[in-house]
A and B are shown apart, each in its own frame.
Chain A
Amino acid sequence: MSSVLTSLGPEGMPIDLTIVLATIGLIIIILTVLGNRSKYLAMGLASGGFAFGIIFIALQALGFFSSSSSLPYSVPIVTDVVTTDWVSYIFGIAILIVAFLVGLTVVDYFTDESNVTTFYALLIFTTIGALLLAFSTDLLMMFVAWELMSIPSYVLTGFKKKDPASNEAAVKYFLVSAFASAVLLYGISLIYLLTGTTSIYGNSVGTTIVSVSSGYGPVGILALTFLLAGFGIKLAAVPFHMWIPDAYQGAPTIVSGLLSTATKGATFAPAARIFFVIFSFSTFQHDWSLTFAVLAVLSMTLGNFAALTQKSVTRILAYSSIGQAGYILIGFAAGSILGLTGSFFHILNYASMQVCAFLAVALIIQGTRSDNLDTFNGLGKRMTLAPIALTLSLLALGGFPPLSGFWSKLTLFLSAINSNLAWLAVVGIINSFVSIAFYVRIVKHMYLDQAPSDTRLPETNGFRVALIIAVLIIVATGVYPYPLYQLAYTAARSFLASASIIPALLRSVFL
């Protein structure tokens, strides 16, 4: 663990990034305490930090800092508590882009709150937690990052402290999420008993798995159950989803956007590491593939069908986020290179689509003061950019062909068929059609229904910039998906290769 502190070279990149971002967060707090409450200064500092992070990770991934690392399919050598592999690069960039977009809109969203600078500090800290979660390869680091991501986000959820809905969301999110951490910790303690180490890629894992099959089986299954529950709560997978609609509806809408993309996306990285590395060679390999398949089916079906009957747009988006988690889990169930490619690709796309949808809804709610579907009637005549951005992101979430969501869903369904899970692909495709119903319903309300009044609603500049960037990402990926697909493929391939360093090449069946 001490080598982390001594390796502040290219390999210490996650630590460098943490130091830079944390310094910016502390500067914002110190300025606030000293009485400088300039919102735009905080926004500039935070956006600068996020932009620096995006460029830093991109340069690192392109091999700018060293000539030897980052060969496309090289297997990372993991001895530290953090790693720099392709999985962490793509998750890191996705998290930072989401944080950047949300950061742009904060000043325009909280017009009547006095502590906006504090919001930026908390946004930075929760982003650092999400980043470290994607980079961590040690259960201790993972747990600390998990909590660093969660604790500021409770405060963000309850940021409108005079609003009962925001408070209700915060207390519910806090209790459920704290329980998730507790269960996760219990599961980690059982893994520690089985493996004798907290390192995910630890040396003794291989030997341990042998002992799992000969006598420790029940403990292993118990550990798997606890971890699934802990991760399932954060990933919004059914049956751990009950808190999602309340929390997303009550929280400030831009915070819902952050929670449903950065927090959720970042959780997929350690989930993949734990389930594919620690549990990959155990005897119950088949079991958990089926477990993920069942979770995927439940999440897709409940998320999409429950969304059909909702009246509140933020609630529809919350249920849609449950459904989308189901699609991502299809790739986990498939467990092949193609499956993980689809999962990573869909997480990237989902992040841009969902954050675009939530930011557009946040802008609309600012004008209409209500998230009821009926107040969205005729919005196409009253606003310009927000309805267009919302329409594009909803169509992309539904999987319309020229947009980004289509390609990643296609990859996921193909991977399910390739791994002899054709029934899963069929369920996914049926769910896609169901989801189009409620996505298009919102579009219909905005463009075809009669507006209650013709007054124009304001569109602010921060939202404009964020929405344009998000829409560009969605459309560009849809028109030319190859680079992102290739990135996801590289990540999946090197990740599964690193997962199979450890003893038998059981996975080679799928490679």
Chain B
Amino acid sequence: MVPLIDYLIVSSILFVIGVYGLVSKGNALRLFFAIEIVVNAANLNLVAFSRYLTPAGYAAEGQTFALFSIAIAAAEAAVGLAIVLVVFRLHKNVDVFGLRKLKN
């Protein structure tokens, strides 16, 4: 069995990649994918911890949680991409740093 620390390392790397993507780019789609990477880091955590805490898997709360989280991420993607699409129609690009109308 792969030790828990390996999963933790992978998930931390995913988390850091996600946060890096979030602070380094301005494209709304890239930002959204970076957020999805963070969500998936958390999902990996949940599944790995669930397996580690209950090896028999009879009360796999963590895995249930991950399933819920994946479904919710899909709903969030649907709404989020719709918003980005509307912004693209108005501005012809989706760079969030270009959206400065509200900053006076």
Contacts and interface: CB of A to CB of B under 8 A. Distances in A.
| Size band of the interface chain B makes with A | 35 or more
Given A189-B46, A192-B61, A175 B96 contact: yes
Given A190-B45, A246-B102, 19 more contacts: A140-B61, A140-B68, A147-B75, A151-B76, A154-B83, A155-B83, A170-B86, A170-B87, A171-B83, A175-B31, A175-B80, A179-B22, A182-B39, A185-B43, A192-B53, A192-B61, A193-B53, A311-B104, A312-B104
A188 B39 CA distance: 11
Contacts of B22: 179
Interface stretch (A2-10, A72-80, A97-105, A161-169): A161-169
B53 A196 contact: yes
Interface residues of A, number: 43
Interface of A: 139-140, 143-144, 147, 150-151, 154-155, 158, 161-162, 164-165, 167-172, 174-175, 178-179, 181-183, 185-186, 188-190, 192-193, 196-198, 245-246, 249-250, 311-312
Interface of B: 15, 18, 22, 28, 31-32, 35-36, 38-39, 41-43, 45-46, 49-50, 52-53, 61-62, 64-65, 68-69, 72, 75-76, 79-80, 82-84, 86-87, 90-91, 94, 96, 99, 101-104
A169 B87 CA distance: 10
Given A151-B76, A164-B101, A186-B15, A175 B49 contact: no
Contacts, number: 124
B38 A167 contact: no
A182 B53 contact: no
Most chain A CB atoms below 10 A, which of B46, B62, B64, B102: B102
A197 B68 CA distance: 16
Best-buried of A144, A154, A174, A196 by chain B (most CB within 10 Å): A174
Contact of A170 (B18, B49, B83): B83
A189 B18 contact: no
A139 B104 CA distance: 40
